[in-house]
Amino acid sequence: MQTEATFMLCNQREEAPAPLFCQTQRQGWFSGSEKWLAQSGTSEESCMAGDVNLFLTDLGDPSLGEIEVMIAEPSCRGQGLGTEAVLMMMLYGVTRLGLTKFEAKIGQGNEPSIRMFRKLHFEQVAVSSVFQEVTLRLMMSELERQWLLEQTSHVQEKPYRDGASEPC
């Protein structure tokens, strides 16, 4: 079965735009899950699985993006949605923003997220006992860039239409 997702590019504040892709579910993603089947009048927002954010926080280093992902809907966790969302956001960061470094700050107890980022070639570079989080980093060498392009070769960028209200 081919999976499909919609990612909406939103600006949270016009004076400091930060890309936000919101991942939504479509019919057929979860076989046997009545919750996600299309229902008349269901908006994309009510089908939200989670989000992935990319922050450009270091004014001294415009090639660094801090990335985070949250799969809010518990029934959607552990199915690869976070990995797919992070890969798509990294693709956006590399191809559209010219990023060459990514960092992720993750709670020390969030083993699933730490494992996911490590699977995506991130390496631990710091631990903060004060904030109880680890910092993972990925440097985008040419080899890493090619790997990312291969992992996202199926991605097609399409404009998101404001006001679109297709059912899930």
| Coil, helix or strand at residue 149 | helix
Q: Please list the residues that pair with 136 across neighbouring strands.
A: 104, 124
For the chain, first and last CA: distance in Å?
16
Provide the pLDDT for residue 161.
Answer: 57
Structural domains in the chain plus CATH codes: 6-151 (3.40.630.30)
Residue from 20, 24, 10, 5 nearest 52 by CA: 20
With contact defined as beta carbons under 8 Å apart, do 151 and 117 qualify? Answer: no
pLDDT in tens, 39-50: 445 555 556 788
* Average of per-residue pLDDT across 33-39: 38
pLDDT in tens, 92-140: 999 999 999 999 999 999 999 999 999 999 999 999 999 999 999 999 9
Provide the pLDDT for residue 156.
Answer: 79
Residue 168's Cβ-count burial label (10 Å; 0-12, 13-18, 19+) is: buried
- Average pLDDT over the chain, rounded to an integer: 76
pLDDT in tens, 47-91: 678 888 999 988 899 999 999 999 888 888 888 889 999 999 999
| Coil, helix or strand at residue 124 | strand
Residue 42's Cβ-count burial label (10 Å; 0-12, 13-18, 19+) is: middle
